[in-house]
């Protein structure tokens, strides 16, 4: 059996890590917002521009899951 040595420094992400996200790598948000849970303080999903669902998917999410989509400027 091969031994394994745990090093906490191996699992700490830094700025050079592939998992580090910068604001410059994020895409522009869409005009569409989806209220997932609750009222004004609930969870809101805002997809990136070009990745928003079409009319049919928005309507089905509203009817089946109760998600409300609205267009904001």
Across the chain, mean pLDDT equals 75
Inform me whether the pLDDT recorded for 1 exceeds 50: no
Task: Give the per-residue pLDDT at 71.
Answer: 92
Six token digits for residue 37: 């849970």
The answer to the question of residue 40 being in a domain is: yes
Instruction: Give me the domain span that covers residue 66.
Output: 20-71
What lies within 8 Å, CB to CB, of 43 at 6+ separation is: 35, 36, 37
What lies within 8 Å, CB to CB, of 27 at 6+ separation is: 48, 49
The answer to the question of residue 9 being in a domain is: no
Question: What's the pTM?
Answer: 0.56
Task: Give the per-residue pLDDT at 13.
Answer: 53
Inform me whether the pLDDT recorded for 14 exceeds 90: no
Q: Give how many domains the chain has, as a whole number.
A: 1
The answer to the question of residue 64 being in a domain is: yes
The answer to the question of residue 47 being in a domain is: yes
Strand order in the sheet with 43-45: 43-45, 32-37, 68-71
Gap between the Cα atoms of 48 and 51, Å rounded: 6
The answer to the question of residue 3 being in a domain is: no
pLDDT in tens, 18-53: 554 444 456 788 899 988 877 767 788 888 888 889
The answer to the question of residue 34 being in a domain is: yes
Estimate to the nearest angstrom the gap between the alpha carbon of 12 and the chain centroid. 23
The answer to the question of residue 35 being in a domain is: yes
The answer to the question of residue 53 being in a domain is: yes
């Amino acid at each position: 059996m091969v031994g394994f040595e745990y090093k906490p420094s191996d699992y700490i992400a830094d700025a050079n890590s592939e998992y580090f996200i910068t604001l410059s790598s994020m895409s522009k948000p869409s005009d569409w917002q989806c209220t997932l849970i609750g009222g004004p303080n609930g969870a809101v999903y805002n997809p990136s521009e070009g990745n928003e669902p079409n009319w049919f998917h928005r309507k089905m999410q509203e009817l089946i899951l109760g998600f409300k989509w609205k267009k904001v400027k």
